[in-house]
Amino acid sequence: PDVIGQLNATLLQELQPPCRNAFIENDARTDAGSPILFSYLPDLPRMFRFLSALELLQMKGAILCFDFQADALRSLCGDKVELQTIDFAEFERRFFSNP
């Protein structure tokens, strides 16, 4: 099974769809329209493009990551980004537990 696709679909159920015509990479939006980047996979160039665009556009955004990644990302992201975490233990139970 495509675990990444399933996780993205699960996350998108509670978020607004991404804005594809924006000048900022995003995987979803908040109800207020702020961009959200799914950053639970280590794609640092993509994350830095997101952070740079937030700074350039003077916007705030959010990054979704696993709970164990939050401390490391917090120091990189600054105050323009709200970190939202995914409980890794719950993720493992949901996607990798035996039936």
Note the pTM of the prediction, 2 decimals: 0.87
pLDDT of 1 > 60? The answer is no
Q: Would you list the DSSP string of 27-44?
A: SEE-TT--EEEE-SS--H
Average pLDDT score over residue span 49-76? 94
Distances from the Cα of 89 to the Cα of 3, 54, 55, 67, 92, angstroms:
15, 31, 33, 9, 5
What secondary structure does DSSP assign to 44-91, as a single string? Answer: HHHHHHHHHHHHHHT--EEEEEEGGGHHHHHHHHGGGEEEEEE-HHHH
Model confidence pLDDT, tens digit, residues 12-38: 999 999 988 788 999 999 999 999 999
